Structure formats: structure tokens, C-alpha cells
Structure 1
Amino acid sequence: MLKTIMNFKKVDLGETCNGMTCDFFTQNLRDTHLIDILHIKFSGKYRPGSMGKSELGYMTGNYELGKAVWRPFKIVIDISEVDYEWGDDMELLLDISDPKSSVMIVGDKNRKAISTLMFGMETEKDIVDNKFFFDDLEKGIEKLKRK
């Protein structure tokens, strides 16, 4: 049971965001304390349509948190383990990232849905044909290092 204090109700982020998780990994710039690459890896189920607003908030919030805490030069946004079927709000995650200094990793759980989000429902295009999206972490990092 959640305790109420002065009309405030304790909330649970995991419950609100449908159990979405986020892990951060860093890679330093040569032999310095500076962070060259921040890898932000999300996992979980993104609920369809507007029900996924909380998951989107969790993802964009953690993206901004990671940027603020580690101040990296480049960012890998890894959604390869996010089960995403549809919902226009996911585009907001794509909008906040800078294609000049970041890449996005997609996976089997969301590749088709991200493709239709970007190119339309009837598209035959594959999102990984775009220079920002990859289905392989190593290839994405390779590309990022060349940016």
C-alpha cells in the first residue's frame, strides 16, 4: 500500500513506466577522464500508442540525465531490447538526439515499427538504411567514432 503524505501519493517509477529499464556505459577519451561515448541501453515493453507516453518520458529523461551527468562527446541510444510496436510519441526520442554526435541501435523487437514510424505504414524501406540507425552495436560505434 502506498503511503500518502499531505495529499501526495508515493509513486513507483518502474510501475509507472511499465518496468522499462535503463543502463549506462561509458568509454573514456584516450587516457583522460573525459567521456568520449555514453552508451544508453533501454530494455522493456513500450506500450502501444499514447499508453507509451510514460515509457517515452522515462527514455527521454534518462537520455537527458546521462548527458547532464557524464557530458559525453557522443551518445549511443540503444533500444535494441525495447519491444515497440507503434506509437507516434516514440519520434520524440529521435528528435532530441543529435544525428551529428549520436547513433541509435534498433533490434528485432522494434526495427519494423521504427521503419514505419519514419517512412510511413506501407514502407518497404528498412530503418538501418539510414545513417543514424544500426542493428549492430559495433557498427554503430564505428560510425560514431568517424563522426
Structure 2
Amino acid sequence: MNLKPLDIRRDVSINHAYFETSLPSPPHLEILVVRFSGTSGFGCANDSDAIYMDAMVRAGIAAFDSVGVILDLREMGYEWGDMMLCPFAAGSRYYVDSDLPVVAVVSDRNRKGLKSLMADEAGIDPTTVLFDTMDAALAHLDLLHNAGKNQT
């Protein structure tokens, strides 16, 4: 048998780091923040970056007990590439009966491309997943969490 080593970072131009914050409302449950930096490839050259990002978000979800995820994309360049939807879907089907919400904080380095991706490719209202500040993203997750608590 010949084993060939694999490297999950092959062809990846993105770096990541994990952080944690708490929802503003009691009982102040934990939110996973995954910060990505670097410049993602254009079009198909984005595929390796998006797959890597998806894997790192899923690893963070598995490793840390959180009720939501914020993708901190302020330091990441992105223009176009449909695979970038993958990290946003990392919370899908995480729980048996519901999804783990995933939102993002964007910047001028990626806002235009991500808004287009959400609206044109995914049919998602960008204002429900893309935010300009960490506080706005956290407030949205807090609202989603509290709305979920009140549903029967």
C-alpha cells in the first residue's frame, strides 16, 4: 500500500482563527466567531478557499459549544465564486431539528461580491446574513435566538 500525504491547506490563500463571544441577552450563550483573512481566488480559483473555510467553520462548530456563528470576513478579499456559499451553510443540518445560524461581518474588501452572491445566486436577502459590524451581527443572532426560544 502506498499512502500519499494530504494537506487541507493545498491551494488555499486564506487563514483562519477562532474566537468566542456571548449573546447580549441572558443567559449569555456562546457564539463562535471564525475570522478569515487573506484574498480569496476569483471564480473557480475560489473553490479551494471556500472548501477550506467551510471545513474550518464545521470544525469550530464541532469543537466549541455555540448557539450561532459569526464569520468575521473584514480582513478577507472576495469578488466572485459560488463556492463561497459553503461556509454560510456550515450550520445547516447541524442540529436534528434546526440549523445553527451563520452570519457574516463584511467590509469594503468583499461586500459587493458577497451581496451579489447572496441575492443573485442564493436568493437570500443579504441584510439577513451580512452585517457591517460585529455588534450588528451579534444583535441579529441574539434576536434569532430569542425568537426561537418563544416558539413552540
Question: Normalization by structure 1: what TM-score?
Answer: 0.75
Specify the SS of the correspondent of 1:120: helix
Aligned equivalent of 1:65: 59
More strand as a share of residues: 1
Q: CA 1:146–1:56 in structure 2 vs 1: closer, same or farther (change >3 Å)?
A: same
Is the 2:105–2:134 contact (alpha carbons within 8 Å) kept by the matching residues of 1? yes
Structure 1: 5+ residue stretches without partners:
1-5
Looking at structure 2, the residues matched to 85 and 105 of structure 1 have their Cα atoms a distance apart, in angstroms, of 15
Specify the SS of the correspondent of 1:16: coil
1:8 lines up with 2:32 in the alignment:
no
How far is 1:114 from its partner?
A: 1.0
How far is 1:35 from its partner?
A: 6.0
Is the 2:20–2:32 contact (alpha carbons within 8 Å) kept by the matching residues of 1? yes
Q: C-alpha offsets along residues 8-67 of structure 1, whole Å, 9 cap, x if unaligned? A: 256472x5212x11110113689xxx9611111111111011111110111000000000
Aligned equivalent of 1:134: 131
Structure 2: 5+ residue stretches without partners:
93-98, 145-152
Give the aligned residue type for 2:53: M
Count the aligned residue pairs.
132
Give the aligned residue type for 1:56: A
Looking at structure 2, the residues matched to 82 and 53 of structure 1 have their Cα atoms a distance apart, in angstroms, of 15
Specify the SS of the correspondent of 1:8: coil
Aligned equivalent of 1:3: none
Looking at structure 2, the residues matched to 79 and 28 of structure 1 have their Cα atoms a distance apart, in angstroms, of 19
1:41 lines up with 2:38 in the alignment:
no
Specify the SS of the correspondent of 2:71: strand
Specify the SS of the correspondent of 1:96: coil
Specify the SS of the correspondent of 1:27: strand
Looking at structure 1, the residues matched to 120 and 47 of structure 2 have their Cα atoms a distance apart, in angstroms, of 20
Query: Which range is displaced more, 42-51 or 136-145?
Result: 136-145
Aligned equivalent of 2:115: 115
